[in-house]
Structure 1
Amino acid sequence: MTVRLDISGALATIALGRSSLNVETKVAFKEAVDCAASNASVRAVLLTAEGKNFCVGQDLGEHVAALEADPETAMETVGIHYNPLIKSLKELTVPVVVAIPGACVGAGLGIALAGDVRVAGTNTSFGTAFTGIGLASDSGLSYSLVESLGASRASALLLLGDKISAEQALDWGLIHRLVPDEEVQGTALKLAQRLASGPTEAYRQVKSLVSASASGLFDALVREAAAQTHLGQSADHKAAVDAFLAKEKPVFAGREALPSGTNNYLLG
Structure 2
Amino acid sequence: MDDILVETHDGWRKIVLNRPAMMNALAPAMIDRLISAIDAAEADSAIRAVVLTGAGRGFCAGQELGADVMPTEAGPPDLRQLADTWHHEAVRRIRASRLPFIAAVNGVAAGAGASFALACDFVLAAKSASFVQAFVRIGLVPDSGASWFLSRSVGDVRGRALALLGDAVPAEQAAAWGMIWRAVDDTDLMAEAEVLALRMVAAPAEAIAGIKTLFAAAPSNTLHQQLDLEARLQGEAGRSADFAEGVQAFREKRVPRYRPH
Shorter-chain TM-score range: over 0.9
Question: Quick one: distance in 2 between partners of 1:63 and 1:185?
Answer: 34
What is the TM-score normalised by the length of structure 2?
A: 0.92
1:131 corresponds, among 127, 130, 136, to: 136
* Maintained 8 Å contact 1:121/1:184: yes
* Maintained 8 Å contact 1:3/1:25: yes
Question: Quick one: distance in 1 between partners of 2:246 and 2:92?
Answer: 33
Number of aligned residues: 254
Structure 2 match to 1:161? 166
Structure 2 match to 1:237? 243
Structure 2 match to 1:44? 49
2:179 corresponds, among 171, 174, 180, to: 174
What is the TM-score normalised by the length of structure 1?
A: 0.90
* Maintained 8 Å contact 2:46/2:260: no
* Maintained 8 Å contact 2:45/2:260: no
* Cα offset, 1:158, TM superposition: 0.4
Question: Quick one: distance in 2 between partners of 1:216 and 1:128?
Answer: 30
Report matched runs for 1:70-109 at 5 Å: 70-75=74-79, 76-109=81-114
Structure 2 match to 1:121? 126
Structure 2 match to 1:4? 5
* Runs of 5+ unmatched residues, structure 2: none
Structure 1 match to 2:253? 247
Structure 2 match to 1:263? none
* Cα offset, 1:69, TM superposition: 6.7
User: 1:21 and 2:22 equivalent?
Assistant: no
Question: Quick one: distance in 1 between partners of 2:67 and 2:119?
Answer: 24
Give the counterpart letter for 2:77 in structure 1: T
Q: Which moved more, 1:69-78 or 1:189-198?
A: 69-78
* Cα offset, 1:47, TM superposition: 0.8
Q: Secondary structure at the match of 1:130?
A: helix
Q: CA RMSD for the aligned pairs?
A: 1.5
Question: Quick one: distance in 2 between partners of 1:31 and 1:247?
Answer: 41
Give the counterpart letter for 1:236 in structure 2: D
Q: Secondary structure at the match of 1:15?
A: strand
* Cα offset, 1:61, TM superposition: 3.3
Q: Secondary structure at the match of 1:45?
A: strand
Q: Give aligned-pair identity as a percent.
A: 34
Q: Secondary structure at the match of 1:90?
A: helix
Give the counterpart letter for 1:73 in structure 2: P
Q: Deviations over 1:20-63 (max 9, x none)?
A: 11223212111111221222222111111121110110112345
- How has the CA–CA distance of structure 1 residues 103 and 242 changed in structure 2, closer, same or farther, with 3 Å as cutoff? same
Question: Quick one: distance in 2 between partners of 1:69 and 1:199?
Answer: 56
Question: Quick one: distance in 2 between partners of 1:95 and 1:33?
Answer: 11
Question: Quick one: distance in 1 between partners of 2:63 and 2:74?
Answer: 17
Q: Which moved more, 1:76-85 or 1:196-205?
A: 76-85
- How has the CA–CA distance of structure 1 residues 254 and 70 changed in structure 2, closer, same or farther, with 3 Å as cutoff? farther
Q: Secondary structure at the match of 1:67?
A: coil
Structure 1 match to 2:72? 68
Detail structure 1 runs of 4+ shifted over 4 Å in the superposition: none
